[in-house]
Chain A
Amino acid sequence: SAVISQKPSRDICQRGTSLTIQCQVDSQVTMMFWYRQQPGQSLTLIATANQGSEATYESGFVIDKFPISRPNLTFSTLTVSNMSPEDSSIYLCSAGQARNTEAFFGQGTRLTVV
């Protein structure tokens, strides 16, 4: 199994600012994913982060709003840019080795935009 550490665990931010969320895995993983969970809803995939290449974004999510870095096989960051109250959500990092292996999640970042 993999242990995933996410920082910060929570933050309150002013609208118009940006927040970078860090995700550290205790072992090398092939794939890392970023999900958003809006209040009272389930998880929605934002993007897939591959080491050494640009992240792949899901429909409705764009790089300018959610830039992602994946500098190595154990680390990734997600930035929420130019925030508005609608960005208030829990953001979760996930990691896995391949499609047939278990996915593990960080503890999430609870973001409130005021």
Chain B
Amino acid sequence: KQEVTQIPAALSVPEGENLVLNCSFTDSAIYNLQWFRQDPGKGLTSLLLIQSSQREQTSGRLNASLDKSSGRSTLYIAASQPGDSATYLCAVTTDSWGKLQFGAGTQVVVTP
């Protein structure tokens, strides 16, 4: 059974520092991995989608890497801002329908 783990569970950094969020999964047979952002009491906003054949994806200050063989992905957020404060979730797709298996998330606080 696929298990997705995110470390750390919580992270607090001063504004301007780079953020490094980790995601690991136990079964490397994935179709893709997606990073989401969730603000308190809200839905999910898709940040980046990495296909299983890709090594990384970039969007603005965000960069996500994927090492499928070792079951790991890392989300880097450069030059963090207070507006980056949120919970970040990673999820893997392991079936042809596109069902997602989520990690527990990393709660990020960026202090001014």
Q: Which residues of B contact A92 (CB under 8 A)?
A: 43-44
In addition to A90-B41, A98-B98, 18 A-B residue pairs with Cβ atoms within 8 Å of each other are A31-B98, A41-B104, A42-B89, A42-B105, A43-B91, A43-B100, A45-B100, A48-B97, A48-B99, A99-B93, A99-B95, A100-B31, A102-B46, A105-B36, A105-B43, A105-B45, A106-B43, A107-B42
Q: Is A6 an interface residue (CB 8 A)?
A: yes
- CA gap between A7 and B36 in the complex, in Å: 21
In the bound complex, residues from chain A placing their C-beta under 8 Å from that of B93 are 99-100, 103
Chain B residue numbers with a CB within 8 Å of A100 are 31-32, 51, 93
Q: Which residues of A contact B36 (CB under 8 A)?
A: 105
Distance in angstroms between the alpha carbons of A105 and B105 in the assembled complex: 16
Residue among A1, A42, A90, A97 with most chain B CB within 10 A: A42
Q: For the side of the interface on A, what is the size category?
A: 20 to 34
Given contacts A41-B104, A42-B89, A42-B105, contact A103 B98 (CB under 8 A): yes
Whether A103 and B46, one on each chain, are in contact in the complex, defined by CB atoms closer than 8 angstroms, is yes
A-B contact pairs, 9 of them (CB 8 A): A31-B98, A35-B100, A44-B102, A99-B93, A99-B98, A100-B32, A103-B98, A105-B36, A105-B43
B68-112 residues at the A interface, CB under 8 angstroms: 89, 91, 93, 95-105
Query: In the assembled complex, which residues on chain A have CB atoms less than 8 Å from the CB atom of B100?
Result: 33, 35, 43, 45, 94, 103
Contact A31 B97 (CB under 8 A): yes
Q: In the docked arrangement, what's the CA distance between A94 and B22, Å?
A: 24
Task: Give the residues from 25 to 58 in chain B that come closer than 8 angstroms, CB to CB, to chain A.
Answer: 31-32, 34, 36, 41-46, 49, 51
Residues of A5-62 at the interface with B, using a CB-CB cut-off of 8 Å, are 6, 31, 33, 35, 41-45, 48
Binding site for A on B (CB under 8 A): 31-32, 34, 36, 41-46, 49, 51, 89, 91, 93, 95-105
A interface residue numbers (CB < 8 A to B)? 1, 6, 31, 33, 35, 41-45, 48, 90, 92, 94, 96-108, 110
